Structure 1
Amino acid sequence: MSPYSFKKVFGVSVSQRELFEHVAKPLVDDLIHGKNGLLFTYGVTGSGKTFTMTGSPGQGGLLPRSLDMIFNSIGSFQAKRYVFKTDDKNGMDVQSEVDALLERQRRENSLSAPKTLQKLDPEIADMIMQEEAFKAEGVDEDCSYSIFVSYIEIYNNYIYDLLEETQEDAIKPKWNGGGTPVRQNTEFIPPQSKILREDQNHNMYVAGCMEVEIKSAEEAFQVFWRGQKKRKVANTRLNRESSRSHSVFIIKLAQAPLDADGDNVLQDKNQVTVSQLCLVDLAGSERTGRTGAEGTRIREAGNINQSLLNLRTCIEILRENQMCGTNKMVPYRDSKITHLFKNYFDGEGRVRMVVCVNPNAGDYEETLLVMRFAEMTQEVEVARPADRPICGFTPGRRYRNQAFKEELSRKLEERGGPIDRGNSCTRYNLPPLPSCELTDPHDDITLPRLIEALQNRHRVRQMMIEDYNKAANMMKSMLQELDNNLISRDNFIQEQNGKLTEKYKIIQNNKAEIERLEKKNKMQEHKIDILQKTAKIYEDDKRSLQQELETRDQRLQRELSEKRRMEQRMHGVVSDTQLKWEKECERRVNAMQLEMQNKLWVKDEKLKQLKAIVTESKTPGRPDPPLREERLPTKRSASPSPLPTTTPVRPLHRRSRSAGGEKWVDHKPTSSMDLGTVLQPVIPNAIQVSAPSEKALSKCDKYVLTHQEIASDGEIQTKLIKGDVIKTRGGGQAVQFTDIETLKQELATVRKRKSSEGAPANGDQKDGAWTDVETRCAVAVEMKAGSNMGPGYEHHGITKRRKP
């Protein structure tokens, strides 16, 4: 076995007295002086933890010896019962002597008072020998003390009160057909688990736990034994009575200073000091394979091992925080045993642990783990609790009050000495009798002196009788008055008892209402926790949305400022564009005027030709002129040119001036139709696309869109929409349209008009001759020409109408 070092090692033959003197006695001293203490017994199953804590008849363990030492120290300084009263919030209230008396009478007369505890077995009651008794030193004799005990167990990580009375739930009686009801067997309600709460001083306590005020060590041990019978134990392969739960016996000492006179307890709750000593008998760690546990026992063993593991984890983290300077969170809440004693590990009291070791070879591995953990716990330093505040009165008030009472009794005794010594005379002494010896029958001195003395004694006796009668009458009147007072007091006490009974019923109703409200409060607290979490989530969402809104507002402000700058730039661009388009409109108006003049000139030329034809037709014997194609000029010069005398020759197609070295984007949709004409719009050095793209526009500086639509006469009309490609500030391209060129194809049919009159009789006219003016004029010339701002062509369509 590896070596382990401990502060104190006790052998097999150590006595309970020696163990108590080294381990528990300092904790009891701290308890009496207002400081908290915690004592563990730790070890594997069957190592003797319960025996160390409880002991056996004649060999009391740590618990009964601690109780005996407490009452040996404060026995003569205890307050009367119910002077100190728990407030159900881990605190103490102080009642006056009268309120405590009424409380005792109410509880004694109440039908719901707890049953008298049964008398203990003499062997168990006499667990501590008189010669082994201990007594604390330095007890404050100017304080009144009261002891409260409670006993709980932690079973399957649930807390149960071992002192709580098991209540019966009687089922409604059934009638057997006769006149008496038959009651069924009663059912026992299992005890309800308790919850842990935190008081106003941030100390953990078991809410709703029963606390019993005791006045002697025998009564305290009797209460302990009553709860010990309810503790969960089971028979396992390793131990016949194995503890299946952690038991905690809590001894709470309430002390308060006496008043300035040293008679009564000071009625100030702030001066009450409450200290407690917790004696914990931990369940033993065990492996289920060795114990042969099944079913419920496996669950119990798992919960025991888990709680002990959490205790080790808390101790290890405390040790790491103290030695390494870290600030890790200690998981006290993972187990009830560590959560209950969280304040002790944080420095609210002294903590001691008794490690019980079984030398059995089968427990070797588990014993190693226990000793390793116990050695590690020695390195954890727990801060010592602070001393309780002093009340501020001078010491020795109780002794001074006792001395004053003794002095007053002595003075009264001296003042009324004859009564105290059994003499009947209180204020007067009878005069002594003179000498009664007669030596001479004629002695006239002795007899008169004797007679005078007897008369004086008689007078004194009469006065004594009168005083006695007066005192007797006074005593009778006082006794009568006392009887009347007692009768009135009895009536008052009965009346107060009735009122107390009513108040007690009201208190019971209030307690039931308080329990209901506490349950409701728990539910509301749970809802509040949920609402707080929901509110926190909403606040986080609100905060994130506000940040997003602020970001968007900033972005919007930037966009607005950018928009204003863009508007300013666009105003300049619009003004420039407006000036440009004004010039362009003026140019187009001039071009349109020129085009209209050309049209008028063409009409004039047509009329002249028509006139010439009409004139020629009137000349006899002249044949019709042959059909010819004519090229009409597209622009009108300053002065009209003379008519050509010969047949005009059609000139070659001339390209537009815009078809220079620029690079074009030829956008021709897929829905465009091929008209099959000879002349087509040809754009050299162009990128043909079916849909515009930024990549194509970035490579060119001109743009043309081919658009086809149906004209009013049913023919297909083609429009070439042209524009310039310009670069934008954002690095993209934009198209600014500058011109639209329209291409239209028309067909003119020549129909022969049959003339019923005026036909030549000689019949020498040929088929291809023009017979009349209508036939000769059936020549239509149409021209659509674009501007000179891009690629284009001039397209003329001439159709001859012949005779059939």
Structure 2
Amino acid sequence: MNRQAKGRTPRRPPPKKPPNSQKDPVGVYCRVRPLGAGDEECCIEVISTTTIQLHAPEGFKTNRNGEYKETQYSFKKVFGISVSQMELFEDVAKPLVDDLIHGKNGLLFTYGVTGSGKTFTMTGSPGQGGLLPRSLNMIFNSIGPYQANRYIFKTDDKNGMEVQSEVDALLERQRRGNNVTVPKTPSSRQKPDPEIADMIKPDEAYKADGVDADSGYSIFVSYIEIYNNYIYDLLEETQEDAIKPKWNGGGTPVRQNTEFIPPQSKILREDQNHNMYVAGCMEVEVKSAEEAFQVFWRGQKKRKVANTCLNRESSRSHSVFIIKMAQAPLDADGTDLLQDKNQVSVSQLCLVDLAGSERTGRTGAEGTRIREAGNINQSLLNLRTCIEILRENQMCGTNRMVPYRDSKVTHLFKNYFDGEGKVRMVVCVNPKADDYEETLLVMRFAEMTQEVEVARPVDRPICGFTPGRRHRNQAFKEELSRRLEERGGPVDRDVSSVMNYMVHSLPPLPSSELTDPHDDITLPRLIEALQNRHRIRQMMIEDYNKAANMMKSMLQDLDANLISKDNFIHEQNGKLAERDKIIQSNKAEMERLEKKNKMQEHKIDILQKTTKIYEDDKRSMQQELETREQRLHRELSEKRRMEQRMHGMVSDTQHKWEKECERRVNAMQLEMQNKLWVKDEKLKQLKAIVTESKTPGRPQPPPRQTQPQRPSREERLPAKRSASPSPLPTTTPVRPLHRRSRSAGGEKWVDHKPTSSLDLGTVLQPVIPNAIQVSTPSEKNLSKCDKYVLTHQEVASDGEIKTQLIKGDVLKTRGGGQAVQFTDIETLKQELTTVPSRKRKSSEGTPTGGDGTDGAWTDVETRCSVAMEMRAGSNMGPGYEHHGITKRRKP
């Protein structure tokens, strides 16, 4: 045996319903509102009684080609602008009222854009009652003669009904009559509200067929609204903290300020049959259509409405008017209702006026209105989502869960879509062109809703008593009254009227006129008549006495019965007082539990909000952590790339400096060899001069200053020099030329020389063969070449012009263009130095010319003291200078 866990209530299994394979589609009707006075363009055309066509307004494109598109939509029935409220009621609401009277549920709601006529369709206007007042009129016209007395049916606050006895109902009426304050003018209660004077017309006597006369009926109405996804009771009395008036010493009281307490929201609960209902909602028992509509109008004045750009009185909430009918069979005698709760049948009809979907940009909503519009659109979106999933489950065979609980509207009416009654929808549309986009969405939703099928409700069983009990009881009462009238006259007459009846029932007296004193006929006839009247009178007195005795005994019995009933009433009053105490204690316990429940719900909301905040913080921290990890990975990869790049740069720099050191060593060796070679040449020349000067008789011309030829490598090396003096050179030594720039390679170059460049006329000016010389480079020129050189000139610090050759490689990009990557810079600088003339001192004995200048180049010392040196830079790479030809004087 499994033991139930402590503190947990086992969930009741749903009641077993008889299988029913018959299904009916949701009935969708369309009603077109007349075009307003300020509207000119119409986008809706009624083609037939079941089809309408939408025309896209001017400037609105609906397909990819930019063309206008016309769409047709079909409904169960289309009501044009000329259709009256009566025709609409006969086709839409009358079948639902018939089902209500026969014990079946029904749901009727209006759907559409703001300002499309939903409230007018549901409520109507004076002289043009809508679906709701006409439904009330038909209900009471059908069950009027069969209504039970007030408070015979009583709600059990759990969406069920109970049947009380006549005594309990009488006590309930007395108790509530004592608590209710009677107004000073009783006629004011019967006076109809001028705003709803013509809503209900008694001449429109709609009646349902097949009403069960052997049952008692009672109607209960409730009115709620769903505002910002909260449920409020519109029939609940406004709670005010009213303080008693204080007297200021005069004749008028001074009333203090009263504090208004806003109404509390209601919650949805599930009854034992798994049907949803609003807990704590006030249900008012009504006995006429006028009384029911007065209750509705009292709640209608509390409904949330606001003025927007689209509608002067726009509904800001979904209103639900619930008509609940309780039905119980009569007993076998046909006098009282059965007090068996299982025999009570409860059916309801929900009339829903949905708030219109709207765009905040068109309505100009701000602040609270934006929040209201957002909640309205969200609830309508949840309704569309539930319809879509229902349609998908039915057409595709899926088993997706329908999200009824996402909205209070869908959660309240989920039983109707699960097969608890018929569902009807009236789609109200406004044909003006400004509402075309919203109307298009409404049409698509209506088209999808028609494809949803709802299970047909099953007929409820009737009790096993023989029919016609009420008629037999009425006939028995009429026959009893007739017999009483036959025996003793009218039962409602008083004693004087009875006596007059008895006097007039005596036989009449004959004529007693005597004309002859010897008349022997008249007197005996009169005596006989009087004796006959006396006899009849005695008989009537005896009958009267018998009736009086019988009446007296009946009165005594009645007194005894009344005494017993008084005792019974006192007992019942005592029991009622005890029950009232129990009820009060139960109410106090319920209030305590409700407060505790609300507190727990408040704590749950706080915990949910806290959990949501923590989850948001966790999500944001995870995102931040992921962002930092990504940034760290990027930094690490960048660091590795920088390390590889620095290693490459270090290796390149090391290789470059190794080459530079090697080049400098070679240059230094070459320079030293050149110096040694020059000294050797000078010594050879000196030796030749000395040997020639020793030859007598031949004048020697002064030697020419020539540029000696650079010796070969074997000649420059001192180790390989011969010991014997070398003979005099017969030709002028010429130094071999070398390439001055790497621009003279075999590649194709773009020689970019600006127009502002100066031609220095020196051999150091580079000349690149097969080069395209341009003043401004273009993409076409770069696409034909592999190399690029830019000639740049500037003035150096010593006033000389310095030329820079900026070189680079032409690369192709991914986009098909060209890019230049600069790789080398060569600097060309020209320096000119003059050799001043030097006079020989007269003390040295050097001959001078007659003009005071130096003598001819015949002196050996003079000829050896001046030399010429040429230095040319080699191709040493970027950053190094090429120096020009300079003259310098040896020290």
TM-score (norm 1): 0.60
Instruction: Give 1:258 deviation, angstroms.
Output: 0.7
- Structure 1 residues 318 and 662, CA, compared in 2 at 3 Å: closer, same or farther? closer
Instruction: Give 1:431 deviation, angstroms.
Output: 7.1
- Structure 1 residues 364 and 500, CA, compared in 2 at 3 Å: closer, same or farther? same
- Structure 1 residues 295 and 677, CA, compared in 2 at 3 Å: closer, same or farther? closer
Could you say which residue in structure 1 is the equivalent of 2:456?
Answer: 384
- Structure 1 residues 444 and 585, CA, compared in 2 at 3 Å: closer, same or farther? farther
- Equivalent residue of 1:205, what SS? strand
Query: Which consecutive unaligned segments of at least 5 residues does structure 2 have?
Result: 1-70, 494-503, 705-713
- Equivalent residue of 2:844, what SS? coil
Could you say which residue in structure 2 is the equivalent of 1:525?
Answer: 601
Deviations 1:114-139, CA, capped at 9 Å, x for gaps: 999x8432451322334433111111
Is the 2:379–2:409 contact (alpha carbons within 8 Å) kept by the matching residues of 1?
yes
Is the 2:115–2:356 contact (alpha carbons within 8 Å) kept by the matching residues of 1?
yes
Inter-partner Cα distance in structure 2 for 1:664 and 1:287: 68
Deviations 1:78-125, CA, capped at 9 Å, x for gaps: 000000000000000011111111111111012589999x84324513
Is the 2:382–2:410 contact (alpha carbons within 8 Å) kept by the matching residues of 1?
yes
- Structure 1 residues 176 and 376, CA, compared in 2 at 3 Å: closer, same or farther? same
Inter-partner Cα distance in structure 1 for 2:359 and 2:618: 53
Instruction: Give 1:339 deviation, angstroms.
Output: 0.3
- Structure 1 residues 450 and 764, CA, compared in 2 at 3 Å: closer, same or farther? closer
Inter-partner Cα distance in structure 1 for 2:661 and 2:611: 68
Is the deviation greater in 574-583 or in 371-380? 574-583
- Equivalent residue of 2:209, what SS? coil
Q: Percent identity?
A: 90
Alignment of 1:497 with 2:584, yes or no, is no
Is the deviation greater in 476-485 or in 764-773? 764-773
Is the deviation greater in 308-317 or in 514-523? 514-523
Instruction: Give 1:450 deviation, angstroms.
Output: 4.9
Is the 2:829–2:884 contact (alpha carbons within 8 Å) kept by the matching residues of 1?
no
Is the 1:92–1:272 contact (alpha carbons within 8 Å) kept by the matching residues of 2?
yes
Is the deviation greater in 449-458 or in 141-150? 449-458
- Structure 1 residues 737 and 390, CA, compared in 2 at 3 Å: closer, same or farther? same
Instruction: Give 1:294 deviation, angstroms.
Output: 0.6
Instruction: Give 1:266 deviation, angstroms.
Output: 1.1
- Equivalent residue of 1:3, what SS? strand
Deviations 1:379-415, CA, capped at 9 Å, x for gaps: 0000111111111111111111111222222233333
- Structure 1 residues 610 and 723, CA, compared in 2 at 3 Å: closer, same or farther? farther
Deviations 1:590-629, CA, capped at 9 Å, x for gaps: 9999999999999999999999999999999999999999
Is the deviation greater in 727-736 or in 29-38? 727-736
- Equivalent residue of 1:210, what SS? coil
For 1:684-703, list aligned pairs within 5 A: none
Is the 1:658–1:791 contact (alpha carbons within 8 Å) kept by the matching residues of 2?
no
Alignment of 1:469 with 2:545, yes or no, is yes
- Equivalent residue of 1:477, what SS? helix
Deviations 1:176-195, CA, capped at 9 Å, x for gaps: 99999976311011000000
Instruction: Give 1:271 deviation, angstroms.
Output: 0.7
- Structure 1 residues 489 and 780, CA, compared in 2 at 3 Å: closer, same or farther? farther
Deviations 1:51-79, CA, capped at 9 Å, x for gaps: 10000011000000000000010011100
Is the 1:681–1:791 contact (alpha carbons within 8 Å) kept by the matching residues of 2?
no
Inter-partner Cα distance in structure 1 for 2:166 and 2:260: 39
Deviations 1:441-496, CA, capped at 9 Å, x for gaps: 76767755654553453344345345545655765786688689779978986897
Alignment of 1:106 with 2:175, yes or no, is yes
Inter-partner Cα distance in structure 2 for 1:731 and 1:297: 58
Deviations 1:278-322, CA, capped at 9 Å, x for gaps: 000000000111111111111000000000000000000000000
- Structure 1 residues 614 and 218, CA, compared in 2 at 3 Å: closer, same or farther? same
Alignment of 1:608 with 2:680, yes or no, is no
- Structure 1 residues 510 and 378, CA, compared in 2 at 3 Å: closer, same or farther? same
Is the deviation greater in 429-438 or in 324-333? 429-438
- Equivalent residue of 2:741, what SS? coil
Could you say which residue in structure 2 is the equivalent of 1:580?
Answer: 656
Is the deviation greater in 393-402 or in 67-76? 393-402
Inter-partner Cα distance in structure 1 for 2:328 and 2:131: 27
Instruction: Give 1:206 deviation, angstroms.
Output: 0.3
Inter-partner Cα distance in structure 2 for 1:744 and 1:123: 108
Could you say which residue in structure 2 is the equivalent of 1:424?
Answer: none
Instruction: Give 1:716 deviation, angstroms.
Output: 86
Is the deviation greater in 517-526 or in 745-754? 745-754
Is the deviation greater in 523-532 or in 93-102? 523-532
Is the 1:163–1:210 contact (alpha carbons within 8 Å) kept by the matching residues of 2?
yes
Instruction: Give 1:267 deviation, angstroms.
Output: 1.4
Is the deviation greater in 209-218 or in 524-533? 524-533
Is the 2:752–2:774 contact (alpha carbons within 8 Å) kept by the matching residues of 1?
yes
- Structure 1 residues 719 and 109, CA, compared in 2 at 3 Å: closer, same or farther? same
- Equivalent residue of 2:349, what SS? strand
Inter-partner Cα distance in structure 1 for 2:315 and 2:262: 19
Is the deviation greater in 258-267 or in 274-283? 258-267
Is the 2:827–2:879 contact (alpha carbons within 8 Å) kept by the matching residues of 1?
no
Is the 1:107–1:113 contact (alpha carbons within 8 Å) kept by the matching residues of 2?
no
Is the 2:100–2:106 contact (alpha carbons within 8 Å) kept by the matching residues of 1?
yes
Could you say which residue in structure 2 is the equivalent of 1:675?
Answer: 760
Is the 1:145–1:255 contact (alpha carbons within 8 Å) kept by the matching residues of 2?
yes
- Structure 1 residues 537 and 233, CA, compared in 2 at 3 Å: closer, same or farther? closer
Could you say which residue in structure 2 is the equivalent of 1:425?
Answer: none
Deviations 1:4-59, CA, capped at 9 Å, x for gaps: 11111110111000000000001101100000000010000000100100000110
Is the 2:874–2:882 contact (alpha carbons within 8 Å) kept by the matching residues of 1?
no
Is the deviation greater in 531-540 or in 590-599? 590-599
Inter-partner Cα distance in structure 2 for 1:355 and 1:214: 30
- Structure 1 residues 648 and 624, CA, compared in 2 at 3 Å: closer, same or farther? farther
Deviations 1:250-278, CA, capped at 9 Å, x for gaps: 00000011111111111111011100000
Alignment of 1:429 with 2:505, yes or no, is yes
Inter-partner Cα distance in structure 1 for 2:366 and 2:822: 94
Instruction: Give 1:337 deviation, angstroms.
Output: 0.2
- Equivalent residue of 1:4, what SS? strand
Is the 1:768–1:802 contact (alpha carbons within 8 Å) kept by the matching residues of 2?
no
- Structure 1 residues 298 and 477, CA, compared in 2 at 3 Å: closer, same or farther? same
Inter-partner Cα distance in structure 1 for 2:86 and 2:103: 24
Is the 1:92–1:274 contact (alpha carbons within 8 Å) kept by the matching residues of 2?
yes
Instruction: Give 1:547 deviation, angstroms.
Output: 36
Is the 2:869–2:888 contact (alpha carbons within 8 Å) kept by the matching residues of 1?
no
Give the one of 720, 745, 749 matched to 1:664: 749
Q: Aligned pairs, how many? A: 796
- Structure 1 residues 568 and 456, CA, compared in 2 at 3 Å: closer, same or farther? farther
- Equivalent residue of 2:491, what SS? helix
Is the deviation greater in 582-591 or in 756-765? 756-765
Instruction: Give 1:511 deviation, angstroms.
Output: 1.2
Is the deviation greater in 529-538 or in 31-40? 529-538
- Structure 1 residues 734 and 48, CA, compared in 2 at 3 Å: closer, same or farther? closer
Is the 2:217–2:327 contact (alpha carbons within 8 Å) kept by the matching residues of 1?
yes
For 1:20-35, list aligned pairs within 5 A: 20-35=89-104
Could you say which residue in structure 2 is the equivalent of 1:794?
Answer: 881
Deviations 1:673-732, CA, capped at 9 Å, x for gaps: 999999999999999999999999999999999999999999999999999999999999
Inter-partner Cα distance in structure 2 for 1:800 and 1:236: 101
- Structure 1 residues 583 and 794, CA, compared in 2 at 3 Å: closer, same or farther? closer
Is the deviation greater in 757-766 or in 160-169? 757-766
Is the 2:824–2:878 contact (alpha carbons within 8 Å) kept by the matching residues of 1?
no
- Structure 1 residues 325 and 577, CA, compared in 2 at 3 Å: closer, same or farther? same
- Structure 1 residues 525 and 166, CA, compared in 2 at 3 Å: closer, same or farther? closer
- Structure 1 residues 760 and 420, CA, compared in 2 at 3 Å: closer, same or farther? closer
TM-score (norm 2): 0.54
- Equivalent residue of 1:507, what SS? helix
Instruction: Give 1:220 deviation, angstroms.
Output: 0.3
Deviations 1:485-512, CA, capped at 9 Å, x for gaps: 7799789868976885785466344312
Is the 1:332–1:338 contact (alpha carbons within 8 Å) kept by the matching residues of 2?
yes
- Equivalent residue of 2:842, what SS? coil
